[in-house]
Structure 1
Amino acid sequence: NFYLFHLTHDFLEFRFPELEMICENIKKPNCISDHNYSKDSPLFTCILPNEQTAFEIGNRCFLLKSISKLMSEGDTLENMLENFQNNDIDMETEKGETFKVEVYSYAKIYSQEEKLQKIEKIVEGLKLDEKGLKVCLNDKMVKHKFFYAEEWIQPETSENDEPELSKNKKLRKCYLAKFVCFGQSYVAHKYNLKDRGFIGNTSMDPLLALIMANMANVNPATIVFDPFVGTGSLLVGAAHCGAHVFGADLDYNLVYSRGLSSRMGQKYRKKDENILNNLKQYGLESKYIDILAADFSTEYIKKNFKFDAIITDPPYGIREKAKKIGNKNSKINHDKSPEEDKSKAVHFVQHIKYNLGDIYLDLLDFASFHLESEGRLVYWLPIYLNTDRKNKSFEEMREILKQFIPCHKGLNLKCFSEQRLTQFTSRLLVTMIKIPQIDVLGNSFEKLKTNHENINSNRMANKNSELLNQFRDRYFSPRK
């Protein structure tokens, strides 16, 4: 049973990893087999056990437009129709039923007249008129929808080739398939940030928030926590997938709708600008548990309190500062009496720098305590990589990127994908799983492995000179 997958053109790096994770989440980890997926095309074919599996994947995949059952393929339209007739495929149609033919071309634009000509050839090749089928253009009423897709590629050219020759494209493959189900690519438009009541400088793209929910295996039976919740974009994506959501943030003004607004032309935040009202806007308020104003570097949750998944985007120190509660004046004057010190005591909360490396060490330690067995931690990891990628293979780059990912004895690295931001910077979407039946002690860290070598497990040794701590300095340093 070969099926044709039609993916979106968004976030190419995450398209196939999301599919693989969904297959694992529906307890069919190896259901996508014999595939010909390539990042260069939104079309690929693979074997699925049955149509029910296609429906299960389509109901969760946010980077998927549709799944269709493959009927025929070929190098040209004529060749494809010839292969269809030679294989004598049963279309499972009956006289009097309705049909529709859709034409899609990747990397090629056809006029409406050209599309109609192709549709006429397909209708004639499939003998739909002879079988007594009627045309219906209404997607909700049509019985059989046929999907014809063409995949065009740019031929390889050398630097000496003329510009006109490089514009010539080549037809790589033609597909004819019978529509099975839609994906969830339309969902992200519902959560458009432009229409959302409460947003900030670091509000996550709605589609990425939904992808993270899939990577974390979020479902109606899960409780999801975001320790750096911000404006709650990740919680909106998790709540859409059915999870009950819980969050925390150091910024008191952000949690309690106070302070300056992020919107142009608006000076202060309104009282209704909060995460709960964001969820109410989409009818998801029943999924809301609570939002805490808390310092992540402290133990503000009991260790026996467990979450099914932790989804977060820690502050990198670029658009938002990475801070924790502390005393800026760490020097204590022992010559003064307690009464004299008390008269000059500081009674407002002070924030100090929170090193990026320490944030991720704390995050992994927190996850080891508060995740259920086999619970998932999904987070973004910023990296600065001044490496020539042209001469590196995909596998070599994966090994280089893997060096930046922190390790922990209680967590296994499940997968990671890279999103390029600039020439030198990118961020990794990392998914980790808690190792079952292991009680992790607070000091059971493995250090950040810059070369995948065991370093002294003393956590204090990481405070000053870790790769992650260097990210902000290297990001803002002048480039030669």
Structure 2
Amino acid sequence: MLHLIWFSSHNKYDECKITELKSLLHIFGYEDEGEALLNDRDKHKGEVFVKVNLPEDIDWKSVISRSVLIKGIIQVWSEGTTYDEVLNDLLKKEHLFSSNLEDKKWRFHFNSFGKMVSQNDKVKKMEHFKIILDKYPKVDLSSPEVELSLLEEYDQGNLGILKKIFFGKSMALRKNNKTLVYRRNDEGHMINDVRTKKTQLAWWIHYSLNKRPVLGPTTTDNELAFLMCNIAKVKAGHIVLDPFVGSGGLLITSSIFNAICVGNDIDIRLLKGYKIAYLNPHMQHKSRNKNIFENFLHYDLSLPEILVSDNSKPVWNAFHKPWVDAIVTDPPYGNRATVRICLRNTRTGAPAEGDNSDGEDGGDSGESADNRDRCDVGDKSGPGSPPQCDVGDKEGPGPPPQCNIVDRKRVKSLMSTKTVTYSCTAAVKDLLNIASITLVDNGMLVFLLPVQLENLEEEIAILKHDDFFLISYDLQTFTPCSGRLIVSMQRKCRKPSN
């Protein structure tokens, strides 16, 4: 059956709409229905209305209940460029009206994209179909059993020119969804029947960053976090890992969907709230704590398991079977947050080369010679990129190796651990290696990758990995020359061991 997917006109995440739709169909058990959608992804760029042939038995209300970019799903009964054309076509399909409206309460919904339509004009347009609808008098605006939809699309190039008219049955509309506030009942189970006062708002507004008690410097955008979890197919009971957990924004979203959350980060200041996080000045606070758990407690969510670790030296057990269903993460990049790894010393108390603690409380890091690890810093190529530096790979006892090519500005003390920046490319490779070890077969890896648009093909090339299928890479543009990819990859099934 032909369905019309009505998407939000979203400037930031328009390219994610088909990826999200396909993933949501998978979540609710319709794995084969969305396979052809990604093949036409370029065709649908900038489109608000997308027509797809999908079965009638899909639970669209469940699909739209989680979607960020879908506004409605319409079962198309007729379409045309003029109202007379649509009416004449519908007169040949009166069986659709009798089977859906006979002895049922119904109402009419009108919406236009590309032009504001006055209330009087809306009524006139709907009355154009009076000859058919007068046979079904049970109109109920408050609690209908069936809702008919009339949608108009206007040409964006020639403003005011009607491009297309769609008439059909509403399968699900976001405006009918309650604004959900997830809570726990006495048995500890999640419930979602609590409504906020402003029910006209989208359900995810309740979790906006400005409504959280503790704010971090680079927390992932609220809408983007929900999008990433949808693309990762996160659902109840899944184990979700965020290797760059930071202030925990992505794990909050995963917890809302009842996932079991685990995260790690190299910067203990973010996890503890030292000097970086701050309390929301527009809220009253029961506690002055600024650690990563405060926002989870505020929303009455299950607390995640958090540890401090370096992703270049994974701590995850690789000897037992894979245990992570999805990895959803936002690696740090830019001026406010950089990717860092531990700078190892071979002698306790020995200062790191180029130490620059920026006045923070932190001690010297050190290890015995028997516990030294190799730390490869920087594999970035091109002008201005830091050269590669191996820190702490010296055989035998003695003073720590000198590494004069480590830029002083890149070395930093995080509490008692010296760290140094390294390239985003190296961080992505470490992330792929962690995902390869920990993800279950067909598990999803979703992350953000900053790119230079002029080198887009080269940037995408680093995503190649023998253990993963590259599912999608949706571009969000920041400037004419830069942006970031919302990358989704799927773990290949492992070969059975003999």
The answer to whether the superposition gives a TM-score over 0.5 is yes
- What corresponds to 2:220 in structure 1? 204
The one of 133, 136, 161 aligned to 2:138 = 133
8 Å CA contact retained: 1:51, 1:180: no
Q: CA, structure 1 residues 332+13, in 2 after alignment: closer, same or farther (shift >3 Å)?
A: closer
8 Å CA contact retained: 2:425, 2:462: no
- What corresponds to 1:8 in structure 2? 8
Describe the SS at the equivalent of 1:57: helix
Q: CA RMSD in A?
A: 3.2
Quote the Cα distance in structure 1 between the aligned partners of 2:496 and 2:280: 48
8 Å CA contact retained: 1:200, 1:262: yes
Q: How many residues align?
A: 401
8 Å CA contact retained: 1:224, 1:243: yes
The one of 75, 78, 81 aligned to 2:84 = 78
Structure 2 residue 442 is matched with structure 1 residue 435: no
Which piece of structure 1 moves more, 188-197 or 25-34? Answer: 25-34
Superposed CA offset, 1:29-82 (max 9, x none): 442589897333311222211233434533443211121222211111222111
Quote the Cα distance in structure 2 between the aligned partners of 1:101 and 1:337: 82
The one of 180, 191, 195 aligned to 2:171 = 180
Superposed CA offset, 1:261-304 (max 9, x none): 456879xx97433333322323322xx33111222222322223
Quote the Cα distance in structure 1 between the aligned partners of 2:125 and 2:209: 39
CA-CA distance at 1:333 after TM superposition: 13
Structure 2 residue 100 is matched with structure 1 residue 109: no
TM-score normalised according to structure 2 size: 0.73
- What corresponds to 1:472 in structure 2? none
Q: CA, structure 1 residues 275+137, in 2 after alignment: closer, same or farther (shift >3 Å)?
A: farther
Which piece of structure 1 moves more, 27-36 or 372-381? Answer: 27-36
Describe the SS at the equivalent of 1:173: strand
Quote the Cα distance in structure 2 between the aligned partners of 1:406 and 1:66: 34
Structure 2 residue 158 is matched with structure 1 residue 152: no
CA-CA distance at 1:313 after TM superposition: 0.7
Structure 2 residue 289 is matched with structure 1 residue 221: no
8 Å CA contact retained: 2:154, 2:164: yes
Describe the SS at the equivalent of 1:234: helix
The one of 43, 54, 64 aligned to 1:48 = 54
Describe the SS at the equivalent of 1:421: strand
- What corresponds to 2:296 in structure 1? 279
Describe the SS at the equivalent of 1:89: helix
- What corresponds to 1:467 in structure 2? none
- What corresponds to 1:452 in structure 2? none
- What corresponds to 1:412 in structure 2? 469
The gaps in structure 2 that reach 5 residues or longer are 178-200, 345-351, 354-390, 400-412
CA-CA distance at 1:331 after TM superposition: 9.4
Q: AA paired with 1:4?
A: L
Superposed CA offset, 1:310-360 (max 9, x none): 1111111332122222153169999x998xxxxxxx993212122222111
Superposed CA offset, 1:362-420 (max 9, x none): 11111111111221211111111237xxxxxxxxx7xx366443322222222221111
Quote the Cα distance in structure 1 between the aligned partners of 2:336 and 2:126: 51
Which residues of 2 match residues 233-248 of structure 1 at below 5 A? 233-248=249-264
Q: CA, structure 1 residues 77+209, in 2 after alignment: closer, same or farther (shift >3 Å)?
A: same
Q: AA paired with 2:33?
A: C
8 Å CA contact retained: 1:32, 1:47: no
Percentage of identical aligned residues: 25
Quote the Cα distance in structure 2 between the aligned partners of 1:142 and 1:355: 57
CA-CA distance at 1:429 after TM superposition: 1.2
Q: AA paired with 1:40?
A: G
TM-score normalised according to structure 1 size: 0.75
Q: AA paired with 1:325?
A: C
8 Å CA contact retained: 1:81, 1:125: no
Q: AA paired with 1:189?
A: I
- What corresponds to 1:295 in structure 2? 310
Describe the SS at the equivalent of 1:201: coil
Quote the Cα distance in structure 2 between the aligned partners of 1:173 and 1:199: 45
Quote the Cα distance in structure 1 between the aligned partners of 2:343 and 2:436: 25
- What corresponds to 1:370 in structure 2? 438
Quote the Cα distance in structure 2 between the aligned partners of 1:32 and 1:412: 17
8 Å CA contact retained: 1:71, 1:89: no
Quote the Cα distance in structure 1 between the aligned partners of 2:241 and 2:35: 34
Q: AA paired with 1:367?
A: A
Describe the SS at the equivalent of 1:225: strand
Superposed CA offset, 1:115-161 (max 9, x none): 12212223x142x2333323x322xx122211110011134xxxxxx
8 Å CA contact retained: 1:102, 1:147: yes
Quote the Cα distance in structure 2 between the aligned partners of 1:333 and 1:411: 35
Q: CA, structure 1 residues 302+12, in 2 after alignment: closer, same or farther (shift >3 Å)?
A: same
Quote the Cα distance in structure 2 between the aligned partners of 1:101 and 1:252: 55
CA-CA distance at 1:232 after TM superposition: 1.0
Describe the SS at the equivalent of 2:92: helix
The gaps in structure 1 that reach 5 residues or longer are 156-166, 339-345, 388-396, 441-480
Quote the Cα distance in structure 2 between the aligned partners of 1:34 and 1:380: 24
8 Å CA contact retained: 2:61, 2:172: yes
